[in-house]
Chain A
């Protein structure tokens, strides 16, 4: 079965990101497919490459990186949610003349259409909200 996952909560601020990580791993362990993880609202903060957690806390950034590398899980952040919260890739940083880009390379910034597409293409959609 194909799963679409929606993450609406910021890492560390809220448990939603951890719940989504546990769920995605369990989906893959069960032999199902993750069609896409879409990060919306405060969920986009999961894609910041500048996250530096204390050493004794779960490295949520590394967890997403690992899922992307090991299982090729597609991680997409909403562009409108990202821009208004200060999450930029190189192209957006240049477009808006900001002096830094901070998007984790495991993620891509794209449009809200990717959320709708995921919901329609997947067999099941599960939302992890703040």
Chain B
């Protein structure tokens, strides 16, 4: 079975990229083994306590918790991205697997396909 890596690179709410990226991940889980790499400002998608309801954007952060139900339990973040933003993994809505920046290319190339959002 082919393995797909989805990368989520953009912060939530300012644009719909993050939300539509998540839709693609959920669809991907029906077809293949999927993993997700949150990178750069994409890690802000996982921040706890997001309350966009009054703003009017969708609170899709809650959907990340359902990824495991879809068989997507390989969720990765880059240590350096979290450190630079002073984010601890306890401040994120789901457990993530940390990888080091100096392993990112090797990590990506282990997949058959990467879809970037």
Contact = CB atoms under 8 A, between A and B. Distances in A.
- Do A and B come into direct contact in the complex, CB within 8 Å? yes
Interface of A: 6, 8, 40-41, 78, 80-81, 111-113, 115-117, 119-120, 125, 127, 129
B17 A120 contact: no
Contact of A112 (B4, B16, B17, B24): B24
B91 interface: no
30 contacts: A8-B17, A8-B117, A41-B16, A41-B17, A41-B20, A78-B20, A80-B20, A80-B23, A81-B20, A111-B27, A112-B23, A112-B27, A113-B30, A113-B31, A115-B27, A116-B24, A116-B28, A116-B30, A117-B31, A119-B4, A119-B115, A120-B2, A120-B4, A120-B32, A120-B112, A120-B113, A125-B113, A125-B115, A127-B115, A127-B116
Q: Which of B17, B20, B31, B114 has the most A CB atoms < 10 Å from its CB?
A: B20
Contacts of B23: 80, 112
A48 to B, nearest CB: 18
Contacts of B113: 119-120, 125
Contact of A40 (B2, B24, B30, B32): B24
Interface of B: prevailing SS: mixed
Q: Which of A112, A116, A120 has the most B CB atoms < 10 Å from its CB?
A: A116
Interface of B: 2, 4, 16-17, 20, 23-24, 27-28, 30-32, 112-117
Contacts of A8: 17, 117
A1 B32 CA distance: 22
Contacts of A127: 115-116
